Structure 1
Amino acid sequence: MTNPLLSQWNTPFEIAPFDKISDDDFMPAFEAALAKDRANVDAIAKNPEPASFANTIEALELSSEALHKVLSVFYTLAGSDSNPEREALQRAFAPKLAAYSSEVFMNAVLFERIETLWKSRDSLCLNSEQDRVLMLTRRSFVRAGANLQGCDRERLKEVTNRLAVLGTEFTQNLLADERDWFMELGADDLEGLPQFVLDTAKSAAEEKGVSGHVVTLSRSLIVPFLQFSSRRDLREKAYRAWAARGANNGATDNRAIAAETLALRQERAELLGYKSFADFKLETEMAKTPAAVRDLLMQVWSPAKAQADKDAGVLTHMMQDDGVNGVLEPWDWRYYSEMRRKAEHDLDEAELKPYLQLDKMIEAAFDCSTRLFGLKFKPLDVALYHSDARAWDVTRSGKHIAVFIGDYFARGSKRSGAWCSAMRSQKKLGGEKQPIVINVCNFAKPSAGRPALLSYDDARTLFHEFGHALHQMLSDVTYESISGTSVARDFVELPSQLYEHWLEVPEVLAKYAVHAETGEPMPKALLDSLLEAQTYDMGFSTVEYVASALVDLAFHEGAAPSDPIAKQSEILEEIGMPHAIEMRHRTPQFAHVFSGDGYSSAYYSYMWSEVMDADAFEAFEEADGAFDPEMAEKLEKHILSAGGSEEPDTLYTAFRGRMPGVEALLKGRGLIQA
């Protein structure tokens, strides 16, 4: 029988035929696609014709279509619905893909063709997009070792291969720890838990095959448990398990993996002629240097820590008034902070949550994009990889723009966090292709017959990931390598973080924040309290984030630490980390940094982008409000549709007229007075 991964997909919009694909199809399809792509690259390198942009750069752009087709399906499944077979395939694919990447980037004959084009680029009559693609292609080859010779070249191949293996192991270990741990709750253990937490804990118990209620390490369950459970002993037990992910000794312990990863990254940087991995990584980002990153983070750290210390004093007094002696601990913060929020802002998440239905928040995200960019969404009846996933046909003025897939509920087979990926990116070269974009989240799944309710943070996450999706769906470039989110890491979060602001627009909440049972809109007093509390506990959230970013940066600034955990403790002591707050991502569970190179030395990117998103939304407010059509048009033209066609600062300046300072961020976080 024909392997469905290698055949033409006669499905609506050529969506992968998930119902016809089995795990047994992946390895033969991978091997066949890899062989085809290798032959394509070999033909480009050995082309007897003189190098041209078309027969070299454009040919490279089209060379990996077969492999991308197979892997886009596989990694969607591996991240969203893993199983032992898929985990084994990940481990098998990682070194093969790393070896193939090195083979391509260190192909001396191929690189010679690219160098010939680079040196004669002024005479090639390239347009601006082609000139950009040529520069980025050459830069990728150089940074992957194309200029290395002899032993250095071979050693870099070994390092690259080993890093790919370690990243896969780190991810799978973390997933195993998150999947395997749960805490059963007896009747006496439910004190203080509101109905929505009970519903989620019951649904989690059903998934684990036990009766009653359980707490798992899914953020959508453990965070509200820490907020509401009056059982301090159970909060401590759950928190310690959450904090210990990746550091439980045994087969899934990630500490040795982190140490080896850092050492290999430093070696990789030195082989390529850089002082440190941070210098290597940041060269292509907006920040450019470790010093620029540290300057931004420390500008934010000082006011954030001052606010967190002040808040810790208030929460400690509350805890002591509650009859608990001793110091405020990390498993206490969320519980007393929730009590304080209710007292000071008359805001109770148990009261708020029924107004934040998942389906209504999806509608809200869609509607904002309709008002801003004219997009329309029609449900698609197609086979997807899991019953929780759903798809929409995205159109504008009757023309198909994209397919959008949403997979929103947590499950044991899904890695933690939330992300956006493109199963197919937009491009025009070789025939116009419209993107197939997927948002994956980990919201708590309700028990049967109950509505899916979100926290406000969940709703922000939904808008955040949809902002990434818009960056993919509205892309309008010729070359896939600069399509959609193929931009600098510290620019890629701008569209996503900017889109979060539309959730805060009062008219959006007034329309879509309606009660799950009564259908009544959120009372104005509750809406006002919600919006007034947007900067509540910002000291805590800023400190836990910036601490993680500073640790990430320090890990990669010089000689790799032999004991990353000791180095982590040293850094946190130097900056004065508050006792009751821990890093958002401790080292053994820091998937952003250790599951791959994506955010390594670049976890600061969210804050760098936030400087821009705070300033960018001010542009709408300075105009005619959140839905100002002229600003929406400029946002699409200069940022959302442009992909990586120009340098990020050029794109942002075209949109805003200037680059921003940090003041808008601090003001938006309530860390300085407006």
Structure 2
Amino acid sequence: MNTTNPLLQPFKNKDQAVPFDLIKVEHYVPAVEEAIKMAKENVAKIKANPEAPDFENTIVALEAASVHADQISTIYSNLEVAHADEALQALAKDIYPMLTALSSDISLDSEIFARVKAVYDKRESLNLNLEQTRLLEKTYLSFTRNGALLNAADKETLRQIDQELSVLGPKFSENVLKATNSFEMLLDKKEDVDGLPEGTLEGAAALAKAKGHDGKWIFNLQIPSYLPFMTYAKNRALREKMWRAFSSKAFKGEFDNQANVLKIVELRDKRAKVLKFTTHADFVLAERMAKNPKTVMDFLNKLLAASKNAGLKDVQELTEFANKLDGLTEIKPWDVAYYSEKLKEERYAFNEEDLRPYFKLENVVEGVFAHAKKLYGLTFKENKEIPVYHPEVKAYEIYEDASGKYMGLFYTDYFPRETKKGGAWMTQFRSQGLIDGEMKRPHVSIVCNFTQPTPTKPSLLTYDEVRTLFHEFGHALHGMLSECTYPSLSGTNVYWDFVELPSQIMENWVGEKEGLDIFARHYETNEPMPAELIEKLKRSQKFQAGYMSCRQLQFGLMDMAWHSTDPGTIKDVDAFEELATAETRLFPKVDGANSSCSFGHIFAGGYSAGYYSYKWAEVLDADAFEYFKEKGLFNQEVAKKFKDNVLSRGGTEHPMDLYKKFRGREPDPNALLRRDGLI
């Protein structure tokens, strides 16, 4: 055991929190190498065990074999997307292939698989409980889905594919990040920033000043800069310039992802075929609630049938409005946010910016904590002694009110940086469950890219950012309320098309007066958000629901197309994307714009053949929230049912069984269309 490498020492902080203050770039590779060696020794012990294979000495032992490698890789992979300079990024091409090789070594080891299969074959006679049965099934499946039943030549092919893929995902992400960072628009004329809100201008001026351009404004492709510009800037030519830059990220140019996209889909398809699946989508969906591509396509097409006419009507209405306002005869994609905002203002007499003063970040965070307290009895206490990986990150201890029980740690990281990838996500530095022979509580983290404070104003969030915070916090609750035995089944380790239910349901509370009253207060006067403003917000919720639905369905259908088409027939990334999205398009294709090359969710984020999950989970969350609305938004009985049957159970049972225990029936597929006003 290395005596100086902090990653290989016992962690000494509260609840063995990660010692970020001690870890340096040079510690990662030696730590990963050492942890892999330990994992291999553990696997060798399992194989050498003279006793007959049983649940404990094989399945549980295997679950624990690579615990240290898992921990170190989790720390690295979390920082690689949340806070990575060039030096840390550069390690990806060494670290990911090493970890992938370890996982291939284990899953392709015929002796280990023989032991697993021996236990699996006698599962009926073992008297296992639900969770043990699920772990056994999951372990057996993870071997067969990773090639355990293949011949030697096919195993070698699979190993090569997995090695290549382990580098391509991070490379794709890195290109998107570099492409995002490479564009800046420097403006110095007052008329160029006409229409932009004061807070946005102040942020842009502060950014320009920090880069040596005092008295000017810088806008970039980070969402807190890009979205307000697209929504409020009167200058149409500049909106077009921003839109084209945003919509062509990593497509052509220095950070082009086209070759990566083609290679990734080719390798995934090849992998699926080696494993005797027709396509990558068939492979992925075999372990999902949806079960197969046909179910997914039927589901997406049913929603498209309900959304398309509404979407076309939304665009038609917007065109007529833009014509009336500015004489435009045709609107383009870079006009949508701008005229939508103006139309919403005219129709509902409110502007998204009217909400911002009531959403000071600190108040929203208090609000999300208050929701966790009212619904699930949780309290959060900041602990400044716990090391963090960046000065803006905060760490909290979580406690259960009723029992005083310690529930884990929670990290928050809210603002964009050049070392952080775009978007928002929840992750964990440690899962809940049995680790090193002890039951451990989880260390959960959420990472976002929100509007930053300016020299004169605190961080004031958009309504969309507030929803994002509640969404990621929903995932976080799934992690922190977990009460499982085995880490690989705990928290968010569930079927991918079930994982968005806890997050999406949380967004509903910020669309209700009762939820907003808890935290939406004016940052200067502390006055609550006026009831009439909340009423306007509520009335506007179904605004352009058809357009928004078509947009999500476009991503879902494009994902399915990439992963269920023979890659041999795909020669051109852009032409293929155009064909795949033809049915969902509400605008003609703009030359030079391409979504696939920056679609990190499916090419670098685990959502391949799974992007439909957002819509699938919207059906679940609309149906589940109807139950809360029926009984009361903070009804203890419903909250307890949701906690006991969904949030605390992880992947210990089939999601549909868990959902039915909560709801008393299967979800009603029309709940979503009702909520969006599409039926």
The offset of 1:663, in angstroms, is 0.8
Aligned residue identity for 1:374? G
Which segment is superposed worse, 429-438 or 299-308?
Answer: 299-308
Preserved CA contact (<8 Å) 1:377 1:393: yes
Q: Structure 2: how far apart are the matches of 1:519 and 1:255?
A: 50
Residue 362 of structure 1, aligned match among 362, 365, 387: 365
Residue 243 of structure 2, aligned match among 210, 225, 239: 239
Pairing 1:599–2:607 present: yes
TM-score (norm 2): 0.96
Q: Structure 1: how far apart are the matches of 2:538 and 2:657?
A: 33
> What corresponds to 2:573 in structure 1?
564
The offset of 1:584, in angstroms, is 12
The offset of 1:10, in angstroms, is 1.2
> What corresponds to 1:72 in structure 2?
74
Aligned pairs for 1:87-236 within 5 A: 87-188=89-190, 189-206=192-209, 208=211, 210-211=213-214, 212-236=216-240
Q: Structure 2: how far apart are the matches of 1:499 and 1:70?
A: 31
Aligned pairs for 1:325-474 within 5 A: 325-381=328-384, 382-396=386-400, 397-428=403-434, 430-474=437-481
Sort the Cα spacing of 1:108 and 1:460 in 2 relative to 1 into closer, same or farther, 3 A.
same
After superposition, the C-alpha distances for 1:300-334 in whole angstroms (9 at most, x for unaligned) are 11232212211211221222234454421010000
Aligned residue identity for 1:19? D
Preserved CA contact (<8 Å) 1:243 1:586: yes
> What corresponds to 2:486 in structure 1?
479
Percent identical residues? 39
**CA RMSD, 1 decimal:** 1.7
After superposition, the C-alpha distances for 1:489-512 in whole angstroms (9 at most, x for unaligned) are 000000000111122221221231
The offset of 1:181, in angstroms, is 1.2
Preserved CA contact (<8 Å) 1:312 1:580: no
Aligned residue identity for 2:555? S
The offset of 1:101, in angstroms, is 1.3
Preserved CA contact (<8 Å) 1:354 1:516: yes
Aligned pairs for 1:545-584 within 5 A: 545-560=552-567, 561-579=570-588
The offset of 1:76, in angstroms, is 2.1
Aligned residue identity for 1:400? Y
Q: Structure 2: how far apart are the matches of 1:576 and 1:7?
A: 54
TM-score (norm 1): 0.97
The offset of 1:277, in angstroms, is 1.0
Q: Structure 1: how far apart are the matches of 2:390 and 2:300?
A: 40
User: Which consecutive residues of structure 1, in runs of 5 or more, have no partner in the other structure?
Assistant: none
Preserved CA contact (<8 Å) 1:196 1:350: no
Aligned residue identity for 2:87? E
Preserved CA contact (<8 Å) 1:111 1:141: yes
> What corresponds to 1:611 in structure 2?
619
> What corresponds to 2:59 in structure 1?
57
Aligned pairs for 1:18-29 within 5 A: 18-29=20-31
After superposition, the C-alpha distances for 1:598-621 in whole angstroms (9 at most, x for unaligned) are 110110001111111100011112
The offset of 1:95, in angstroms, is 1.6
Pairing 1:522–2:553 present: no
Sort the Cα spacing of 1:504 and 1:584 in 2 relative to 1 into closer, same or farther, 3 A.
farther
Preserved CA contact (<8 Å) 1:330 1:579: no
The offset of 1:204, in angstroms, is 3.4
Q: Structure 1: how far apart are the matches of 2:526 and 2:596?
A: 44
After superposition, the C-alpha distances for 1:552-584 in whole angstroms (9 at most, x for unaligned) are 101111312232321111122244543389999
SS at structure 2 position matched to 1:234: helix
Sort the Cα spacing of 1:383 and 1:605 in 2 relative to 1 into closer, same or farther, 3 A.
same
SS at structure 2 position matched to 1:351: helix
Q: How many residues are paired up? A: 669
Q: Structure 2: how far apart are the matches of 1:589 and 1:463?
A: 25
The offset of 1:298, in angstroms, is 1.3
Preserved CA contact (<8 Å) 2:289 2:498: yes
The offset of 1:208, in angstroms, is 4.5
> What corresponds to 1:540 in structure 2?
547
> What corresponds to 2:664 in structure 1?
657
Aligned residue identity for 1:317? E
Aligned residue identity for 1:375? L
Preserved CA contact (<8 Å) 1:547 1:583: no
The offset of 1:206, in angstroms, is 4.8
After superposition, the C-alpha distances for 1:99-134 in whole angstroms (9 at most, x for unaligned) are 221111000000000000011112222122111100
Sort the Cα spacing of 1:275 and 1:580 in 2 relative to 1 into closer, same or farther, 3 A.
closer
The offset of 1:410, in angstroms, is 1.0
Sort the Cα spacing of 1:11 and 1:398 in 2 relative to 1 into closer, same or farther, 3 A.
same
Preserved CA contact (<8 Å) 1:203 1:445: no
SS at structure 2 position matched to 1:448: coil
SS at structure 1 position matched to 2:444: strand
The offset of 1:481, in angstroms, is 0.7
Which segment is superposed worse, 539-548 or 644-653?
Answer: 539-548
Preserved CA contact (<8 Å) 1:19 1:383: yes
Residue 320 of structure 2, aligned match among 312, 317, 322: 317
Aligned pairs for 1:33-48 within 5 A: 33-48=35-50
SS at structure 2 position matched to 1:512: coil
Preserved CA contact (<8 Å) 2:513 2:531: no
Aligned residue identity for 2:300? L
